[in-house]
Amino acid sequence: MYKLNPYPAALKINNLDFLREKNGKLHHTSDFLTKALTVRRGQDFKIRLRFSRELLPQDRVVIQLSLGHRPLQAKETLVLLPLQRDPEPGRWSATITHTSQNEVTSPLTANDDVYLPDEDALSEYVLNDMGYIYVGHSSDIAARPWNFGQFEEGVLEVCMELLDQKGQKQAVRRDPVRLARAMSSLVNSNDDRGVVIGNWSGKYPQGTSPLEWTGSSAILLQYGKTHSPVKYGQCWVFSGVLTTGGVSFLLSDHSDLFSVMRCLGIPTRSVTNFSSAHDTEGNLTIDVYVNKQGEWLDDMTFDSIWNFHVWNDVWMKRTDLPEGYEGWQALDSTPQEESEGMYQCGPCPLKAIKNGEVHLPHDTSFLFSEVNANRVVWRVDNPDSDRQAVTKVREQRHTVGQNISTKAVGQDAREDITLQYKYPEAQIVFPRVAEVQCVFRWHAGSPEEKRVAEKAFAIQSAAGPSQETRQLDVNLQCFGPTRLGSPVSVPICLTNLASHPLTLNVTVAAQLQSYIGKTVATVKAAKQEVTIQAGESTDIPMELTPAEYLPKLSQVNDEVLLRITVIAECAKPYFMCMGETITSFDLLLELGTLGFDPGSLLVKKPSPLPMMPQKWGHLNKGKATSGTGHTERKPNTTGLPMDNCKLLIEGLGLFQLTTFNEGNIPVGRIFRSEILCTPYRTGKRKIIARIISDHISGITAEGTVTVV
């Protein structure tokens, strides 16, 4: 018969094993380069305790989880978990699952509101550390590779520090809605010295151009090292940094207390909205002003339509809203407008945006406007005098919110998610070339789209959409991107739809614009009078030489597009008609060859033993020894000299972001750079190369290697 020892020796813990390898595999956190155990929210994890003696029934074992320097139960920064046989549902608990002599194995459990049931989606939106952010404009979409880098050494710790920096109570940290909203403000620096300083000026003194960044990890590590906001970012940078993450708890045995620190752990995707409205007045209308020459007048309005804008979708339950609003929520960290006194935006259910429920939190009206606002163009005569005359030229309902895009699950391809944000709407019937018309031949929108528009405009706008009538077609045909250094030709065709002749004053303006819709420079403006017989057409050529646009292009170190605007004015009967188109410049630098054949390269992951650089081998056409060398050979085929040229290259799992200063590169000159690296991750790894110079920026290429 077993007898209880009334005076057993004091129970002590001789060893605590976090079972990092086992928990890391179960929680998909083995890739984190940290000495601490990293586990995810809402999933059991196990620890092994070795006691000084056998555990007796009268022994009471309490596991202490603490956060911060002065943890208190009242502040929910201290949790005491008695070791027990049965778990307590819905709360933190510690249960005994196995005993062996003096050893006990215990799983810790917690529930979570950000559970994503789709395993493939979970792998994409939490585990994938590489992806794409889509840029350009709606008729010329480009995939920009981006390294999210959530597993890189030090990134996890910086994300945890961000949560501490906000200083919110644990009740807030447990709420993914409030936590995500807080993070949308922490990524920008406007309110609380967050991670990135926004800059859309085209000038980036004492900092890094947004076009230079290849991923998030370099930004977060710089912020963690300096504790100062990083210069500079634009929308895709803010989105990329906000996407980085995907862990929940960091358990460390490198301090006196067993600590628990929370991070987002929320499935996240970067989303690009093409023709994205920035509605500063909250009236669901974007007003655009042009002068008699067709030149845009930016200083007359704070409204704008960005060629593209990048934000995030995050996946979570919405216990603060009626049932049915769970799932993807829009979240934007780009500092555009204040919300509740801070530069934060979202999270807002996509269902609310799609159904025009602009009264629901958070910032639904602003986000609805970004994908649905009307666009109204006004012509201003004598804009610089007291005798201004303003005439409405056109009103458009369906130009905003086009080709909403994100990376497809498990593929290096674009997925169009427009119908997750809005119902099918009326569309212009275009021929194969990009064409803009003053007479819209609509495919009828869906009944749901009409109902949503009427509901939203009834709440936000005093005047709903209006319908235009026209007597003239204005067609601008643009045959895709223009090779930089080549002439630009945009045929303009005017067709008289009236039953009588029309005499028209036609103005054409060509302007360089930044991606946020602001004018950089006017390249050319022309005016002429034409008479068109009833039912007939006439062509007006619009051509730009490289000598006309290249000097203007070099004025700003930013992404710019060429916008062509045509205004045709008729005196009898009086009317005005407008057409416009956008074209981009194709920077055809030969970056496809990254010094190896990406499809056939196989690299062996080296031993973890220390290796001297002089012993590393060189990678050349798929051959590698104990280390790897990577060669970049780049000819300048842009047709322009590249002054102060820099090559930036990053390979997650291979090497960190590295910059090569190449100096001035004349046209046709080939420059060569080499990186020696030791891969530290296996599998398919991506290398991103980016080239910038004083006058040409944003040239990007990528290649892949397989590490075994």
Question: What is the per-residue pLDDT across 325-345, written as a single tens digit (0 to 9) for each?
Answer: 999 999 999 999 999 999 999
Is residue 124 within 8 Å of 132, Cβ to Cβ? no
Dist CA 384 CA 225 (whole Å): 49
Q: Which of 138, 144, 195 is nearest to 165 (CA)?
A: 195
Over range 540-550, report the average pLDDT: 90
For residue 591, name the pLDDT band (cuts at 50, 70, 90).
Answer: very low
pLDDT digits (tens, 9 = 90+) for 414-473: 999 999 999 998 654 433 333 333 333 334 466 776 677 666 656 555 444 444 457 999
pLDDT of 619 > 80? The answer is no
* Segments making up each domain of the chain, as ranges: 13-109, 119-291+298-391, 469-586, 602-707
Model pLDDT, residue 420: 98
Lowest mean pLDDT among 66-80, 116-130, 387-401: 66-80
pLDDT digits (tens, 9 = 90+) for 2-17: 555 666 888 999 999 9
Model pLDDT, residue 324: 95
Dist CA 515 CA 142 (whole Å): 13
pLDDT digits (tens, 9 = 90+) for 16-71: 999 989 998 888 788 888 888 888 766 788 999 999 998 888 889 998 888 777 88
Is residue 682 within 8 Å of 605, Cβ to Cβ? yes
pLDDT of 485 > 50? The answer is yes
Q: What is the pTM of this model?
A: 0.84
CATH superfamily of 602-707: Immunoglobulins (2.60.40.10)
Indicate the burial class of 358 (C-beta count within 10 angstroms; 0-12, 13-18, 19 or more): buried
For residue 213, name the pLDDT band (cuts at 50, 70, 90).
Answer: very high
Residue 420: both structure tokens together: 């997750």
pLDDT of 260 > 60? The answer is no
Residue 400: both structure tokens together: 């905003």
Q: Annotated catalytic sites, by residue? A: 235, 309, 332
CATH for 469-586 (2.30.30.40, 3.40.47.10, 2.60.40.10, 3.30.420.40): 2.60.40.10
Model pLDDT, residue 231: 97
pLDDT of 528 > 70? The answer is yes
For residue 617, name the pLDDT band (cuts at 50, 70, 90).
Answer: very low
Dist CA 158 CA 241 (whole Å): 12
Model pLDDT, residue 632: 52
Is residue 610 within 8 Å of 166, Cβ to Cβ? no
Higher pLDDT, 380 or 482: 380
Lowest mean pLDDT among 2-11, 232-241, 373-382, 498-507: 2-11
pLDDT of 615 > 90? The answer is no
Dist CA 105 CA 49 (whole Å): 6
Distances 211 to 203, 220, 646 between C-alpha atoms, Å: 12, 16, 12
Class of domain 13-109: mainly beta
For residue 290, name the pLDDT band (cuts at 50, 70, 90).
Answer: very high
- Residue showing tokens 């609805």: 368
* Topology of the domain comprising 119-291+298-391: Coagulation Factor XIII; Chain A, domain 2 (3.90.260)
Indicate the burial class of 460 (C-beta count within 10 angstroms; 0-12, 13-18, 19 or more): buried
Q: Which of 31, 250, 18 is nearest to 153 (CA)?
A: 31
pLDDT digits (tens, 9 = 90+) for 146-181: 999 988 888 888 887 887 776 767 767 778 898 889
Model pLDDT, residue 340: 95
Average confidence score pLDDT of the chain: 81
Dist CA 609 CA 513 (whole Å): 53
Higher pLDDT, 188 or 552: 188
Evaluate whether 469-586 and 602-707 have a shared fold: yes
Q: What length is written for the chain?
A: 708
